[in-house]
């Protein structure tokens, strides 16, 4: 090493030099920037900690606890004992359990297609450019804002067999009154009708999907001589299938978990003859009526499996009928 050599300079290609001082400065800047990024990360974790704790305490812990409770005889009044699959075996022998599953599936099969069809039809009617269209859209959305208990109270009066408004209209036209909520044959139809009254959210979602379709498709179809029906069939419906897919999935999940409306309509009894006793109602009665938390936890996990299977089936078939814009 010669006397004129300085370790504070390093030769690079092109004859340029960088001093050790500038290198040290860059290193300090990088360390400083890294410290700032680490501080930001710590602050981010600190600010999200309430949400993380809420998720762990109110979602993860109850989820894991319910799995354990489903294998025990746990109740609110006693810790219970481990009973293995006894709760699930008892469910298989519970007639009301099967009755509630049947009621829930029948309601889902009736309600979801009807709500999908009505939601699309009304959205098509509201997807026009006329004066005051915003008022009409608001009117259809308002029922969604009404609390479910208030909705049940109003409809219980409207469908009353003796003095209900619906039967009063029927009698004026010489027709015999219908036992809407007092008959096993009419009770589910009545509930489907009430549920269809609050489809404002599905209408708005469908309306958003309709307005997302490019008008160029309709212009090209009109030039080719396509009429309104042909444009609706070949353009609107295929391009609206992603929205329909979403509404079907959410409709099935919500219908399988229906609780507040039938509970408020029947005061928690599910009458007549348990025709309005739905799965979540039966689960609620076992959990908080009979204090059989282990039994109710087993019911909850069976419902989870049913929803999971049906959702996977819908997702599996979506490739054949859901079309996305390119």
Rg (CA), the chain: 31
- Give counts: helices (H), strands (E), the chain: 15, 2
Domain ranges of the chain: 23-69, 86-321
**Cα-to-chain-centroid distance, residue 9:** 66
Residue 82 phi, psi dihedral angles, 5° rounding: -70, 125
Q: Which two tokens stand for residue 235?
A: 């353009």
Backbone angles phi, psi at 10, to 5 degrees: -130, 135
Residue 179 tokens read as 């036992």
Torsions phi, psi for 322 (to 5 deg):
-95, 125
Give me the DSSP letters along 219-282.
HHHHHTT--HHHHIIIIIHHHHHHHHHHHHHHHHHHHHT--HHHHHHHTTS--STTTT--HHHH
Tokens of 307: 């929803």
pTM: 0.84
> Please, what is the average pLDDT of the chain?
89
Share of the chain above pLDDT 70, in %: 89
Residue with tokens 């600190």: 46
Question: What local confidence, expressed as pLDDT, does residue 33 receive?
Answer: 61
Based on the number of CB atoms within 10 Å of its own CB, is 115 exposed (0-12), middle (13-18) or buried (19 or more)?
A: buried
For the residues 197-208, what does the mean pLDDT come to? 94
pLDDT surpasses 50 at 14? no
Name the residue with tokens 């298989």: 92
> pLDDT digits over 269-323, tens only?
888 889 999 999 999 999 999 999 999 999 999 999 999 999 999 999 999 999 8
Confidence category of residue 20, pLDDT binned at 50, 70, 90: low
68-82, 230-244, 286-300: least confidently modelled range: 68-82
18: β partners: 10
> Does residue 39 carry a pLDDT above 50?
yes
Mean local confidence (pLDDT), 185-208: 94
> What is the C-alpha to C-alpha distance for residues 206 and 244, in angstroms, rounded to an integer?
8
pLDDT interval class at 31 (50, 70, 90): low
Span of 6-15, 82-91, 197-206 with lowest mean pLDDT:
6-15
Overall average pLDDT of the 257-272 stretch: 92
Phi-psi region at 11: left, alpha or beta (left = phi > 0; alpha = psi -120 to 50): beta
Cis peptide bond prior to 272, omega within 30° of 0: yes
| C-beta of residue 176 within 8 angstroms of C-beta of residue 169 | no
Cβ proximity of 191 and 259 under 8 Å: no
Whether 283 contacts 263, CB under 8 Å: no
143 pLDDT above the threshold of 80: yes
What pLDDT does residue 12 have?
A: 46
Which CATH number, 1.10.10.60, 1.10.3720.10, 3.40.190.10, 3.40.50.1820, labels domain 86-321? 1.10.3720.10
Q: Treating both helix axes as pointing N-terminal to C-terminal, what angle do 237-256 and 293-321 enclose, rounded to 10 degrees?
A: 170
| Residue among 324, 288, 300 at smallest CA distance from 100 | 300
Per-residue pLDDT band for 325 (boundaries 50, 70, 90) equals confident
Closest CA to 141 of 192, 189, 206, 236: 206
Per cent of the chain over pLDDT 90 is 73
Residue appearing with tokens 């490019």: 214
């Amino acid at each position: 090493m010669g006397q004129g050599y300085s370790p504070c300079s390093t030769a690079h290609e092109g004859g340029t030099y960088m001093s050790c001082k500038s290198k040290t400065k860059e290193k300090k800047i990088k360390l400083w920037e890294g410290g700032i990024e680490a501080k930001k990360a710590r602050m981010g974790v600190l600010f999200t900690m309430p949400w993380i704790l809420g998720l762990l305490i109110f979602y993860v812990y109850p989820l894991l606890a319910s799995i354990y409770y489903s294998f025990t005889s746990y109740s609110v009044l006693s810790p219970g004992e481990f009973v293995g699959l006894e709760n699930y075996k008892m469910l298989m022998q519970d007639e009301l359990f099967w009755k509630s599953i049947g009621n829930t599936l029948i309601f889902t099969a009736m309600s979801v297609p009807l709500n999908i069809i009505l939601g699309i039809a009304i959205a098509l009617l509201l997807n026009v450019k006329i004066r005051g269209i915003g008022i009409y859209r608001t009117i259809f959305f308002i029922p969604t804002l009404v609390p479910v208990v208030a909705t049940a109270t109003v409809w219980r009066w409207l469908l009353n067999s003796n003095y209900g408004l619906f039967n009063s209209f029927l009698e004026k036209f010489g027709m015999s009154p219908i036992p809407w909520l007092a008959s096993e044959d009419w009770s589910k139809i009545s509930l489907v009708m009430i549920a269809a009254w609050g489809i404002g959210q599905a209408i708005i979602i469908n309306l958003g999907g309709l307005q997302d379709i490019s008008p160029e498709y309709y212009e090209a179809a009109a030039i080719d001589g396509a009429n309104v029906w042909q444009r609706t069939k070949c353009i609107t419906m295929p391009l609206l299938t992603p929205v329909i897919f979403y509404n079907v999935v959410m409709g099935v999940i919500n219908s399988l978990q229906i609780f507040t409306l039938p509970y408020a309509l029947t005061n928690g009894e599910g009458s007549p003859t348990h025709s309005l006793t739905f799965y979540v109602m039966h689960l609620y009665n076992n959990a908080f009526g009979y204090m059989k938390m282990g039994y109710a936890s087993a019911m909850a996990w069976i419902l989870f499996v049913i929803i999971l299977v049906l959702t996977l089936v819908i997702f599996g078939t979506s490739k054949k009928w859901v079309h996305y814009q390119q």
